[in-house]
Amino acid sequence: MLKIGILGVGAIGRVIATALDQQQLDAELVALADQDHARAECLSKELFGHPPVVSIDEMIERCELAVEAASQAALPEFVPKALAQGRDMLIMSVGGLLGREEWFRQAHERNCTIYVPSGAIAGLDGIKSASIGRIEFAQLTSRKPIAALQGSKYVVERGLQLDGFKEEAVIFEGTAEEAARAFPATSNVAASLRLAVDPAVPVRVRIVAVPGGSENVHEIRVHGEFGKLTMKVENVPSKSNPRTSQLAAFSAVATLKNLTRSLRVGT
């Protein structure tokens, strides 16, 4: 049985831990870690298996697959430590992987696998298949409620008064890499799309602030040798964190399930 440790017990980490605790997967939750030790202890007490709350180092040592559900800021410590122990990883803060090719090289050298769930979007299987041929155009438009954007790095640095917006407005246009830096907590969809296509293909991102909005809506358009793909997902935000879509947490559980199944569907 696959032994799993989780770093981060927020909205996504809690869903993954609960799924493991309820035996929805053929895997065992062996440890939790979080910078908020008390919050992790509370979750452990709620779970039937009462997994131990330990340091990052001990969590990685106990598990066979280490799940990161914390933040981009956690990756510079988490990833090198997991690689040093030869652990496979599932990364939720995908934006933190952009520009870190050295981690991918080290993972290859140490026979480690880094898993990236599809997160809050659909269509990545099709895009990966299309990438075998030539892709000419890839664009993501994300429409987000004001609550999902408040406090983000980009909004704070530019002094955007989102509460004063009366209608939809494009507040960001740029590359996926720029989006990951500008919105570290809400750019995982852009980062996943970036990783799914060839590095030579530019991925353009537009972020739209939606006053009165209640869903995180992502629309992807891709043109290439295969034809054209248009995909739209209207995500219900997590009840505990408006920046996180419920589908993102579900995708993490689905990815873990896929690792333990004899039948795997999809590219």
pLDDT tens for 16-75 read 999 999 999 999 999 999 999 999 999 999 999 999 999 999 999 999 999 999 999 999
pLDDT confidence of 121, banded at 50, 70, 90? confident
- Please tell me the predicted confidence (pLDDT) of residue 106: 97
Flag whether pLDDT at 82 surpasses 80. yes
Contacts of 25 (CB under 8 A, 6+ apart): 2, 19, 253, 256, 257, 260
Identify whether 252 is part of a domain.
yes
Taking only the tens place, the pLDDT of each residue in 165-210 is: 999 999 999 999 999 899 887 788 999 999 999 999 999 999 999 9
Q: What share of the chain is helix, strand, coil (3-state, %, to 5)?
A: 40, 25, 35
CATH number, domain with residue 193: 3.30.360.10
Residue type at position 94: V
Residues 73 and 131 reside in one and the same domain: no
Domain range spanning residue 210?
124-241
Phi and psi (nearest 5°) for 70?
Answer: -105, -80
Same domain, residue pair 139 and 220: yes
| Same domain flag for 88 and 128 | no
CA dist 47 → 11, 41, 171 (Å): 15, 10, 41
Catalytic residue among 50, 108, 218, 223: 218
Q: Count the neighbouring beta carbons within 10 Å of the beta carbon of residue 22.
A: 11
User: pLDDT, tens digit, for every residue of 84-98?
Assistant: 999 999 999 999 999
Same domain, 22 and 113: yes
pLDDT of residue 266: 79
- Active site annotation includes 218: yes
Tell me the two tokens of residue 181. Answer: 């830096």
Inform me whether the pLDDT recorded for 81 exceeds 90. yes
Same domain, residue pair 140 and 108: no
| pLDDT (tens digit per residue) in 229-259 | 999 999 888 777 777 788 999 999 999 999 9
Question: Mind giving me the DSSP string for 45-101?
Answer: HHSTT-PPB--HHHHHHH-SEEEE-S-GGGHHHHHHHHHHTT-EEEES-GGGGTT-H
CATH for 106: 3.40.50.720
Question: 163 in a domain, yes or no?
Answer: yes
pLDDT value of position 64: 98
The reply to whether 264 falls in a domain is no
Task: Give the pLDDT of residue 244.
Answer: 79
Q: 97: closest CA among 82, 67, 76?
A: 76
